Amino acid sequence: MDAAMWYVIDNGITDETQYPYKAKDQKCAYKDTMKVYQIKNCAEVVANKTVELEKAVAAQPVSISVEADQSGFQFYRTGVFNGKCGTNLDHGILLVGYGDQNGTPFWKAKNSWGPNWGASGYILLGKGIDGPGVCGVLMDNTVPLGSV
């Protein structure tokens, strides 16, 4: 997450209307003329603390790292996911909120795998107590600070 944020600090970033996501390996074709956004800085959210991540996502979306290489995560469809997925962080997603579904607290995150994955592109990860969290959701999270 930090490396991506530092790229945006140094170079800016475009949006999907100018540079659509294609879900395949290819050479980056980004050009400065495509820049739509740029940030001034970034900060890490205190790791393994539920209340710190709650505060961060209440203010803005948060870039989070998770372990996504397990079948439970990869084939997620609906409901609050509390399955086995591990804490070997290997994928970045965007935390957009949190809530409660039928008495089960969750984090709501948007994945980059498109609208046909999960619940229209989103996953509800179980929101437990302090520690690594489901799929490592509390371990490594970054927020952008200030726009240029």
Model pLDDT for residues 12-46, shown as the tens digit of each residue: 999 989 998 887 899 988 988 999 999 999 999 99
> What mean pLDDT do residues 1-10 have?
90
- The Cα–Cα gap between 34 and 81 comes to 37
Query: Where along the chain do its domains lie?
Result: 42-147
pLDDT at 73 over 90: yes
Residue 148's pLDDT is 82
- The Cα–Cα gap between 68 and 142 comes to 18
Cβ–Cβ under 8 Å, residues 106 and 96: no
pLDDT tens-digit readout, 83-142:
999 999 999 999 999 999 999 999 999 999 999 999 999 999 999 889 999 999 999 999
Cβ–Cβ under 8 Å, residues 36 and 13: yes
pLDDT band at 60 (very low <50, low <70, confident <90, very high): very high
Residues 6+ apart with CB under 8 A from 87: 67, 132, 135, 136, 139
| Beta pairing, strands 141-147 & 104-110 | unpaired
Alpha-helical runs (H) found in the chain: 2-11, 50-59, 71-74
Residue 93's pLDDT is 97
Residue 134's pLDDT is 97
Domain 42-147, CATH: 3.90.70.10
Residues 6+ apart with CB under 8 A from 94: 61, 62, 63, 64, 109, 110
Residue 143's pLDDT is 95
The model's pTM: 0.89
| Beta pairing, strands 122-126 & 104-110 | antiparallel
- The Cα–Cα gap between 28 and 30 comes to 6
CA 5 to chain centre: 12
